[in-house]
Amino acid sequence: MTSSALPEKMRALCLSAYDGRPESLQVTEVPVPKPEAGQVLVRVAAAPINPSDLMFVRGLYGVKKPLPAIPGFEGSGTVVAAGSLAGRLLVGRRVGCVPTPSTDGTWAEYVVVPLKQCFPLLPRLSDEQGASFFVNPFSAWALMERARQGKHKALVQSAAASTVGRMLQKLARKEKLPLVNVVRRAEQEAMLRKLGAEHVVNSSEPEFEERLRLICQELGVSLAFDAVAGTMTGHLARALVDGGTVIVYGGLSEQESRIHPGEFIFHQKKIEGFWLSEFFRGGFGKDQLRALVEVPTLLGKDFETPVRATLPLESAGEALRIAASDMTAGKVFFRPNAWGGE
């Protein structure tokens, strides 16, 4: 499709209020954006619903856009127009793309993306896998890099059955690092053991805290990755050896992290936060460049995103309900151009 053949209007999911109500997210016809210098226009093939997206539509994320706004932090599609000569080299290519957080996102038929935030996709990658190339894979890589740089000998993670959790499990096996996996259901424990996880602890079972502490002390676990927050942050902190660190990178419980002050005072424990946007905000240093080289080689292999459902933009309410109901079952995707689009 040439730029002259592009439609003037497109369908997009527009958010009118940060209240989480289904009626606040409606399909609206809006102008197709035009790429400026250093930007390309992508015809969106697939766009996932990540936990960060669920937080965004409720006004709980670290970024708030002026309303009305189009959500969607990542996606995949085909470059159909460019605002500069360099971008024209990508026209016709399938890419994974990450819009600037402050601009309109990927829950639309078209999205404008900075050229430097478009990554050509290998033919073997499906649209869904290409659409999920950034948020979870780069988060897992960056978290494991913290373990490498800190020379930690053993790790523990909450939400181990999540997509990021499974990616961390595979990376830990490659690094030969013992990883204690915390889940909350028996079927999640069975799934992880089938994937080769050796240490799995179910938080819904009696004496969970003591069992977690004993395993972590025996292995010498000094670094925890927490996607849950709430009381889980304290459970993980108590389980670590003295001087250990908990990195909170998610808030699935939607509760404040709670930890006894004695862990700080008497055991020198530390709590830190991780946000992928901050990891890349300073530009492309050594760690960021390594991530850009290494992560694409893992996509579709060690970094495979389970697909639960693909739905049109018109099914936004159902899509968000499914996405929030059971994240272990796989990710939900929008297919903006598959139903009635140009």
Q: What is the DSSP letter of 164?
A: H
Contacts of 237-242 with CB under 8 Å at 24 or more apart are: 237/263, 237/269, 237/271, 238/209, 238/213, 238/263, 239/156, 239/180, 239/209, 239/212, 239/213, 239/215, 240/156, 240/216, 240/269, 241/216, 241/217, 242/267, 242/268, 242/269
Q: Please calculate the CA angle 83-86-87 and round it to the nearest 5 degrees.
A: 50
Q: What are phi and psi of 105, to 5 degrees?
A: -100, -160
Is residue 18 annotated as part of the catalytic site, yes or no? Answer: no
Please pick, among 18, 61, 110, 249, the residue that the annotation labels catalytic. Answer: 61
Q: What is the DSSP letter of 264?
A: H
Alpha helices in the chain (DSSP H): 51-57, 85-88, 127-131, 135-149, 163-175, 186-194, 208-219, 231-239, 261-265, 276-281, 286-298, 316-325
Nearest CA to 108 out of 47, 163, 153, 22 is that of 47
Q: What residues are labeled active site?
A: 61
